[in-house]
Amino acid sequence: MFESAEVGRSVDKIEYAKRVSVLRTRLLKAQHALAGTSLRLVVIVGGVEGGGKTEVARRFLDWLDPRGLRVESYGDPSDEEDERPEYWRYWRTLPSSGRGAVLVGSWYTRPIVRRAFKQIGSGAFDQALDRAMAFEAMLIREKTVMVKLWLHLSKKGQKRRFKELESDRDTAWRVTKQDWEFSKKYDRFREVCERALTKTSVAEAPWTVIEATDRRYRDLAAGEAVLAAIEGALKRASAPAPKPASDRSKPPKVSVLSRLDLTKRLADDHAKKFEKQQTRVALLSRLLRDEGRSLICAFEGVDAAGKGGAIRRLLGAIDVRNARVMAVAAPTDEERAHPYLWRFWRNLPRLGHATIYDRTWYGRVLVERVEGFCAVEDWKRAYAEITAFEAELAEAGTIVCKFWLQISPEEQLRRFKDRVKTPFKQYKITEDDWRNRGKWDAYQAAAIDMIEKTSAPDAPWTLIEAEDKRWARLHVMKTVADRLEEELG
């Protein structure tokens, strides 16, 4: 992979001046056009130490309008970053629509360094690369112009560069001990990087390997790669997107939902049973903070399935200072200017907290699918993205409980009527609720698909027979208690 970046490419001053002048005008124009679209630009500048990653980033700030472009570099994670999944820091620095980011270092840095020093095996390394690719695939589907630049120097070239920097008083500080240490491991790094680049150079997000010996050649090549990517994306984006269609699938006759026994009722001694489970949750949830774990309880179900009531009971068992209820409603304009899952990532609490979601990220494969709020391919890819999201949560120490509350259409009607009648419940019922009711089958079909496609050992769905509210609340509470017991202490 790197051989073709060791052939001695260079550009002389005159040619450079000529090409830069054209390049800058086109880059500015392209950036300005991008600012008016829903596209964002993400440029990864990776490469060997001494290749000039920071210099290239600076060049982009020179050539483009710095007000629409941000350079991000990732040092040691802060404690707030340490208390969230690994990718949180990348999510939180994603540019919004119309803007760009140049990343000096990226999600590749940590796996490469760890693999080079044999802190992880090749299996873990490949997993890390798979995660990077999945993240990038998501970004691209979410309208990101993704450019991956790799600045290469040969072993000799790197040494020469370090010595050259060290010989100048003004640049000597840029060569660190770590640089020399890494340089001693040049061959090992080369091998690991080659593996990384080969595996992750896919058609939709290829690496551009740039020979970095000659600075003029390097900068021009970097700039031209970015220009080509933006111009290409703008051309593709000008084609009108097809209008998303609503989904009217029918649920299968027999399914995980049809098999639920909605006649389940709680006997009269329910209060005692409930209290017992509530106390278990209260005692166990106190351990979250000490053990550096988090809890997420996610609730889905048709309107009036009893999510609110179950949530209130659960909340009642958890220390309010570490608990939060998140109601998922329409996204804000900032959220709309980012990939779908961004609005959940941005609100992820630190370790020690419990978060209860009244509706969740599954909105993508439920309401958005049924109502046609997003394209078919968007909700279809969401299953994998959500599964990956929850796996990252679990890996970072979050206990994920997901509940589907199931009621019959007849029970829903009874509850709607009750809401209409009861003054302090009236605000809970809207026209949307009646409208959604008309699409009962489509919502059931979507729920069945969701449950089947997104159950995972560390983020399982619990299906709750919710025709009897007390039965539902007890079983939600017991499930949470059991999960906490299993995971803590």
- Residues of this chain that interact with a copy of itself (CB under 8 A) are 24-25, 28-29, 32, 54, 57-58, 61-62, 66-68, 70-71, 73, 78-80, 104, 170, 173, 279, 286, 308, 311-312, 315-316, 319-321, 323-327, 332-334, 350, 358, 423-424, 427
User: Cα–Cα distance between 343 and 85 in angstroms, integer?
Assistant: 15
The nearer residue to a copy of itself, 295 or 323, going by C-beta atoms, is 323
CB of 440 to a copy of itself, least distance (A): 24
User: Cα–Cα distance between 143 and 137 in angstroms, integer?
Assistant: 10
Tokens coding 122: 């090749």
Q: What is the 3-state secondary structure (H, E, C) of 131-185?
A: HHHHHHHHHHHCCEEEEEEEEECCHHHHHHHHHHHHHCCCCHHHCCHHHHHHHHC
Which single residue is written with the structure tokens 């119309």? 98
SS3 413: helix
Q: What angle do CA 416, 421, 427 make, to 5 degrees?
A: 70
- If phi over 0 gives left and psi between -120 and 50 gives alpha, with beta otherwise, what is residue 456? beta
The nearer residue to a copy of itself, 2 or 274, going by C-beta atoms, is 274
CB of 163 to a copy of itself, least distance (A): 22
The nearer residue to a copy of itself, 104 or 472, going by C-beta atoms, is 104
Q: What are phi and psi of 402, to 5 degrees?
A: -125, 130
The nearer residue to a copy of itself, 84 or 439, going by C-beta atoms, is 84
The nearer residue to a copy of itself, 310 or 442, going by C-beta atoms, is 310
Tokens coding 296: 């997420």
CA distances from 47 to 54, 102, 117, 189, 197 (A): 11, 14, 17, 10, 10
Q: Which of 489, 476, 129 is nearest to 317 (CA)?
A: 476
Are the CB atoms for 70 and 38 separated by under 8 Å?
no
User: Cα–Cα distance between 30 and 145 in angstroms, integer?
Assistant: 12
CB of 144 to a copy of itself, least distance (A): 20
CA distances from 459 to 271, 342, 400, 435 (A): 29, 19, 5, 31
CB of 180 to a copy of itself, least distance (A): 20
The nearer residue to a copy of itself, 66 or 292, going by C-beta atoms, is 66
CB of 254 to a copy of itself, least distance (A): 35
SS3 305: coil
The nearer residue to a copy of itself, 337 or 399, going by C-beta atoms, is 337
CB of 335 to a copy of itself, least distance (A): 8
Which single residue is written with the structure tokens 């659960």? 314
CB of 330 to a copy of itself, least distance (A): 11
The nearer residue to a copy of itself, 157 or 352, going by C-beta atoms, is 352
CB of 102 to a copy of itself, least distance (A): 8
SS3 429: coil
The nearer residue to a copy of itself, 3 or 78, going by C-beta atoms, is 78
CB of 428 to a copy of itself, least distance (A): 9
CB of 408 to a copy of itself, least distance (A): 25
DSSP 8-class letter at 459: B
